[in-house]
Amino acid sequence: MHETLKKIMPPPAKSSGMTNREFSLFSQFIESTCGIRMPDSKKLMLESRLQKRLKHLGIGTFQEYYDYLVSKQGLRDELVSMIDVVTTNKTDFFREAAHFTYLTESVLPRIPKIEQQNGIKVWSAGCSSGEEPYTLAMTLSEFARNNLGFRYSILATDICTEVLKSAHRGIYDEEKIAPIPQLLKKRYLLRSKDRSRCIVRVCPELRSKVTFRRLNFMDETFDVESPFRIIFCRNVIIYFDRETQEVLLNKFCRHLLPGGYLFLGHSETLNGLNVPLVQVNSTVYRKLA
């Protein structure tokens, strides 16, 4: 019966390419809902990624998909899936390694002992598939080994639900862990018993230090337990226009302790932005007291 139905039912209409008008509709919608700019140069990329959703839903045209997306049902059922396919998630363990050296040598030793013992709070904002918060956890755990009583917790957030699922599992291909120093691999990573799989998993003790949550930077307020001593938001604000960057960074500052630290990506700058931060190192900023 199933094969007969397949012969009778016409195949889903093949979608045509995305028109400039449709691209404009999607780019405006994406920027308004999650702040990500979609310049004309991103048209082919957006078309290719959204094609996956059209195919999955059996929708024949980009206009039909857009109409569904902005409907009440689409906003409820499809918006998160759309965001998942259009967001870029590029990250590595110990990416921009100088930041973790500065954290160990210049930031952590200056935190008052009473705060260290009560537990410092760190936020990895835009955590992607987890490499950054787990790198932070390794760095902070190493500091704790040499500083009795030091305690910490990490909040890791991202807008993409799929990468958050992956991050929570803490399982990575062996090629992904190449930047991790050998000593830290031995301490914090567990190899699969099936050596043919070539995967490792972050050890339970380290995973327990990180809480993963979905968060959209365009939300009016951030429902996070603050204040934080340290916020990492690296290679994220480059996707926003300058006005949105300023609004976003001031939101972060409201969740940052006076004297707390904000780490940005190597290509990001605060030049021309009205924020209560002063630069203390390359792409590292401290909130004014």
Q: Please state the domain extents for the chain.
A: 2-86, 98-170+207-287
Is 70 exceeded by the pLDDT of residue 10?
no
Segment 120-140, tens digit of pLDDT: 999 999 999 999 999 999 999
Residues 223 and 247: beta-carbon distance below 8 Å: no
Is 80 exceeded by the pLDDT of residue 282?
yes
Q: Does domain 2-86 have CATH number 1.10.155.10?
A: yes
Q: What 3-state class would DSSP assign to 90?
A: coil
pLDDT at residue number 71: 94
Segment 156-175, tens digit of pLDDT: 999 888 899 999 999 999 99
**Closest to 247 measured CA to CA, from 234, 237, 235:** 237
**Sign of the alpha-carbon dihedral angle for 233, 234, 236, 239:** positive
Model confidence band, residue 276 (pLDDT cutoffs 50, 70, 90): very high
Neighbour-count burial of 165, counting CB atoms closer than 10 A to its CB (0-12 exposed, 13-18 middle, 19+ buried): exposed
pTM, rounded to two decimals: 0.82
Q: H-helix or E-strand containing 99?
A: helix 98-102
Long-range contacts of 218-224 (CB under 8 A, 24+ apart): 218/32, 218/33, 218/34, 218/35, 221/251, 222/251, 222/255, 224/123, 224/155, 224/157, 224/255
Give the residue numbers annotated as catalytic, written as ranges: 49, 158
pLDDT at residue number 9: 39
CATH class of 98-170+207-287: alpha beta
